[in-house]
Structure 1
Amino acid sequence: MDNAYVSAVAALAGSAIGAIATFATTWLTQHGQARAQRVGQAMARREHLYGEFIDEASKLFTDALSHEFDDPSKFIRLYALTGKLRLFASADIVSKAEEVMRLIVEIYDRPNLDFRNPDSRRVDEVDLLRAFSDACREDLNV
């Protein structure tokens, strides 16, 4: 083979290898960035969902302390949030959410508290959301 052909083939091979390396590097970088973005969005979605559940459970908890369970539609939003948790959260968090719902129903079944009376202001379940919040924090810190 002629030396000119060897030089031309070597130059073309070097260019091809350089192009493939550039393509692979670009693809890997974009793939990694897209994955990091998806993970960040999923974490933000769970964080927002956890906050919504805590807000709704807190509202129902305070309502349960001073009202009777007369309208089951009060639980629609909390039940819907629990369903969303089943889609995006771990089984541990879902079980903690279900436990919170169960405790709120139990509190509705108790006699109403009269907050004007200092003796009835004592509430046993003030930390109703502690286990749920701890599980959420652990999930978000992973």
Structure 2
Amino acid sequence: MAALFGASIAGLTSVVTQRTQAKAEWLAHDRVRRQDLYNEFIEEASHCYVHALQHDEPDLAALVSLFAKISRIRVQSSTEVAREADQVGRKIADTYHAPKRTFLQLREMLADGSIDILGRFSDICRAEFDLLRAQQFQ
């Protein structure tokens, strides 16, 4: 009876361990997938924003690609990350209607930090990654 009980406990422990490892692997893969998407979004948003600061006519192909990434973010991410990505996209679209900036004005924006429309997005993403890391080791 003791041998049967011991074998049952060992089998149960093995199942729990495998399940825990599978969850950790899935969360790690999910985190990498999100990091890649967020990096792509940041790159594309940066290019679109600089274009919007300097041009009246939008680069429609780039904007479509940016908003496609925002839609992917909505599917894969927390509501807060998706909401902030949407805010960045709207800010970029609105910038096409604002007065165009000269190179000197862009340098001033760099110096005072006002050019950074992705700071809050980055902070929210970092908080999401911290939460995902914590879940991975539970």
Class of the TM-score when normalised by the shorter of the 2 chains: 0.7 to 0.9
Number of matched pairs: 128
Q: Secondary structure at the match of 2:117?
A: coil
Letter in 1 for 2:76: F
Aligned to 1:100, the other structure's residue is in SS state: helix
| Separation of aligned partners in 2, 1:19 and 1:106 | 66
TM superposition shift of 1:40: 1.2
- Equivalent residue, structure 2, for 1:134: 123
* Deviation sequence 1:106-133 (CA, Å, 0-9, x none): 2111232232xx3575337412111111
Q: Deviations over 1:42-101 (max 9, x none)?
A: 111112111111111001011112122244222111111101111111111111111111
* Aligned counterpart, 1:79: 67
Per the alignment, do residues 119 and 67 of structure 1 end up closer, same or farther by CA in structure 2, a change over 3 Å counting?
A: closer
- Computing the radius of gyration from Cα coordinates, the structure with the larger value is 1
In structure 1, runs of 5+ residues without a counterpart are 1-12
Within-5 A mapping of 1:113-132: 113-115=101-103, 118=104, 121-123=107-109, 125-132=114-121
- Does the CA contact (< 8 Å) of 2:42 and 2:118 recur in 1? yes
- The structure 1 residue matched to 2:19, chosen from 12, 16, 31, is 31
- Alignment of 1:50 with 2:68, yes or no, is no
Which amino acid is the alignment partner of residue 109 of structure 1? H
Identity, % of aligned positions: 32
Question: Which of 96, 109, 118 is residue 84 of structure 2 equivalent to?
Answer: 96
Equivalent residue for 2:28, pick from 25, 32, 40: 40
- Whichever residue aligns with residue 108 of structure 2, its letter is R
Mapped partners of 2:121, 2:50: distance in 1 = 17
- Aligned amino acid, residue 140 of structure 1: F
Q: Distance in 2 between matches of 1:66 and 1:119?
A: 11
Cα–Cα, structure 1 residues 119 and 126, in superposed 2: closer, same or farther, change >3 Å? closer
CA contact (8 A) 1:113 1:121 kept: no
* TM norm structure 1: 0.81
With the length of structure 2 as denominator, give the TM-score of the two structures. Answer: 0.83
| Counterparts of 1:87 and 1:33, CA distance in 2 | 25
RMSD over aligned Cα atoms? 1.8
CA distance in 1, matches of 2:63, 2:43: 13
Paired with 1:82 and 1:54, the residues of 2 have a C-alpha distance of: 11
